[in-house]
Structure 1
Amino acid sequence: MKGKVAIMTEPGKLQFAEYELPEAGPGSVLVKVVRTNVCGSELHIWQGHHPTKKSGVMGHEMVGRIERLGAGVETDYAGNPVKVGDRVAAAYFLTCRRCRSCQQGQFHLCENAYKYWTKDAEEAPHFHGSFATHYYIHPDQYFYKVPENVPDAAAASANCALSQVYYGLEKAYVHYGDAVVVQGAGGLGLNACALAKEFGATVIVIDAVPSRLEKARAFGADYLINLQEYDTLEKRVNAVNEITGGKGADVAMELTGVPAAFLEGIHLLRMGGRYVSIGNISPGQLAPFDPGLMTRKSIQIIPVIRYDPWYLNKSLAFLSRTIGKYPFGEMLDADFHLEEIGVALDKSASREITRASIIVK
């Protein structure tokens, strides 16, 4: 049997290739991709902004069904029994537990995280990314069984978007009663709204697209700030101050990938506030910054790349608990076929759509 892989030959260009399906080696799992999403990091790669990845197989947010189990694989990483046909979601990176970062307990910074993701599609086992019919889960790559009540459309976003902001919110120690500003109402932002709301926070969302702001309301946002209406930094700061009784937000999250959003974030925070930066992942994209204001306000900057892999399990459990409360299944507002990945990437980059998803048949 053969499977198909979408390969980026250079930024902005795709081609497809077919390969024989590999056997699952010891400790590995081969899954049939059911649904895979276009994440913001894919857009950075597609537009040529990633510092190292300029070609190869893309895709990492996905849900799939187990097709082949390697020797020794009887459970997922939470100890749940697994069998062929079960739906699973996998962290898109490795956690080797042996490198310097892992030995320091910084599992999200594993030095071998992208050991296979960076390989050329010609190199076995070929299915290095989820923009394909199949995906190969390696040893040391955490994966978890998807709860039965969580639909594919919701489960596909658990790896990366939901897990990332879950990790960021906990690193920022969000408490009940905190005011949290979410900059950007894309996939990361919508997930952040629901999580922050469940943490007991007052949620304030800033975005320029009315449809994205309305979707944020469905995900728990208490206040919406439209960049087109509040078109200066001063207006946005005043709006946040008015909502928070003049003190500013306790926590803000940069989830836009726009450098200018980062420099704005510290203005929206109270004295001693915490600022989580997740969206800006492309080095060399610069913006002026006011370090003196950061120091005088004693702002804590919390950059977050990836997440400790067990947050994927926490995210799936969160979805299972709240699936009837928030429209997670509606977060994906445009479906495409595998052969339409290029179109999905382009429409996502132009913000014609909020969250594109690829259904693989």
Structure 2
Amino acid sequence: MTEPGNVELHDYDLPEVIPGSVLVKVNQSNVCGSELHIFNDQHPYIKNAVLGHEMIGQILELGEGVTIDYAGNTVKKGDSIVAPYYLTCQKCRACRNGQFHLCENAYTYWSKPPTEWPYFNGAFSTHYYIHPNQYFYKVPDNISSKVAASANCALSQVYFGIDESQLSSEETIVIQGAGGLGINATAVAKERGANVIIIDAVASRLELAKEFGADETINLNNHKTVDEREKKVKELTDNWGADVGIELTGVPDSFSEGIKLVRPGGRYVAIGTQSPGTTTAVDPGLLVRKSVRIIPLIRYNPWYLYKSLKFLEQNQHKYPFESLLDASFDLSEIQTALDKSARREVTRATINCS
């Protein structure tokens, strides 16, 4: 992306692999909502960079000293791996507090222009460079590439968010948004034994959510106002509200609505709206009187990617994860993939990078 709204294909020599790093040949990457935010100039740091962060690839070259992944598994050339898209420096104030997802140096490389070494800092490319102190994990042989590619970031992000909400068995969660993150969140919540209500405007997405275990769906086209949706959620929760809410839409007004959908004393996780400067009207008196606990999250602690791989090992045949990727494009068709994703014509597009 030479500038927001414009993508071009450029060729670069493969970088020399320094000690502690890994060069990966990308098999496929996916279009996440974050790519759309970046492309539309809604990201505070990334303006001229290689897009793409949700991917799977094969090790092409290991830097000196790299013999195992971050779970202690032995790795070699040709192994399939996945990696968080951000750096965890382990030295900054956030990392010293154990809040690796808030690393102050997270985007040190992803925000670099592609003209700067090592060039391949994004996943919409034929290769990807994993830097020292950037976590990565070997993909178990029994997980298909199509399924594993979504572990970072869709599954890892919602897994982290649901853990932070402390969702427990028999509680009710209301999920705003049935895109890739919302569908993955449905599966994670069902494995916790929760009741799941999911909201979206696209009927096909809501039908897919049912295949992932959603107990109730609310179509925005049938419940057009906030009051109607609040009433419906209360009808489904004995006039109480959901125990947990999670916002995965990227629409600021979803936040102010979500507070109304959870019960008094409930928890509300905000993930989807990550662009500073966007606003929504919030009723602080309602927030206080309901004593809703707000849990805003950016990124996830990097070991959640490993937890996600284990989750997929146990559940990849229980839920139709492969159906989440419902459109395929070549690397030369990035613009089309972004446009169709923005228009919500596909749930999650995959890019063939080989």
Task: Find the aligned partners of 1:273 and 1:218 in 2 and give their Cα distance.
Answer: 27
Task: Find the aligned partners of 1:333 and 1:346 in 2 and give their Cα distance.
Answer: 15
Q: Would you say 1:212 and 2:202 are equivalent positions?
A: no
| Partner of residue 191, structure 1 | 184
| Partner of residue 281, structure 2 | 288
Task: Find the aligned partners of 2:31 and 2:235 in 1 and give their Cα distance.
Answer: 36
Number of aligned positions between the proteins: 354
Runs of 4+ residues deviating >6 angstroms? none
Q: Would you say 1:301 and 2:262 are equivalent positions?
A: no
Q: Would you say 1:278 and 2:271 are equivalent positions?
A: yes
Q: Which moved more, 1:151-160 or 1:249-258?
A: 151-160
User: Equivalent of 1:118, from 111, 115, 120?
Assistant: 111
Look up the SS of the partner of 2:8 in the other structure: strand
Q: Would you say 1:250 and 2:243 are equivalent positions?
A: yes
Letter matched to residue 26 of structure 1: P
Q: Would you say 1:75 and 2:61 are equivalent positions?
A: no
- Given that residues 156 and 308 in structure 2 are in contact (C-alpha distance below 8 angstroms), is that contact kept between their aligned partners in structure 1? yes
Tell me how far 1:243 sits from its aligned partner: 1.1
- Given that residues 204 and 225 in structure 1 are in contact (C-alpha distance below 8 angstroms), is that contact kept between their aligned partners in structure 2? yes
Tell me how far 1:69 sits from its aligned partner: 0.5
Q: Would you say 1:261 and 2:254 are equivalent positions?
A: yes
Task: Find the aligned partners of 2:17 and 2:71 in 1 and give their Cα distance.
Answer: 20
* Structure 1: 5+ residue stretches without partners: 1-7
- Given that residues 23 and 68 in structure 1 are in contact (C-alpha distance below 8 angstroms), is that contact kept between their aligned partners in structure 2? no
Q: Which moved more, 1:159-168 or 1:44-53?
A: 44-53
Tell me how far 1:87 sits from its aligned partner: 0.3
User: Equivalent of 1:222, from 191, 215, 234?
Assistant: 215
Tell me how far 1:90 sits from its aligned partner: 0.3
Letter matched to residue 181 of structure 1: V
User: Equivalent of 1:354, from 337, 347, 353?
Assistant: 347
Map residues 15-164 of structure 1 onto 2, 5 A cutoff. 15-164=8-157
Task: Find the aligned partners of 2:311 and 2:17 in 1 and give their Cα distance.
Answer: 30
Tell me how far 1:52 sits from its aligned partner: 2.6
| Partner of residue 324, structure 1 | 317
- Given that residues 36 and 61 in structure 1 are in contact (C-alpha distance below 8 angstroms), is that contact kept between their aligned partners in structure 2? yes
- Given that residues 116 and 128 in structure 1 are in contact (C-alpha distance below 8 angstroms), is that contact kept between their aligned partners in structure 2? yes
TM-score (norm 1): 0.97
- Given that residues 23 and 128 in structure 2 are in contact (C-alpha distance below 8 angstroms), is that contact kept between their aligned partners in structure 1? yes
- Given that residues 186 and 355 in structure 1 are in contact (C-alpha distance below 8 angstroms), is that contact kept between their aligned partners in structure 2? yes
Look up the SS of the partner of 2:302 in the other structure: coil
Task: Find the aligned partners of 1:360 and 1:353 in 2 and give their Cα distance.
Answer: 19
Q: Which moved more, 1:120-129 or 1:249-258?
A: 120-129
| Partner of residue 336, structure 1 | 329
Tell me how far 1:40 sits from its aligned partner: 0.6
The CA deviation string for residues 324-356 of structure 1, in whole angstroms up to 9 with x for no partner, is 000111101100000001110011111111111
Letter matched to residue 350 of structure 1: R
- Given that residues 50 and 122 in structure 2 are in contact (C-alpha distance below 8 angstroms), is that contact kept between their aligned partners in structure 1? yes
The CA deviation string for residues 156-176 of structure 1, in whole angstroms up to 9 with x for no partner, is 111111101100000000000
Higher strand share: 1
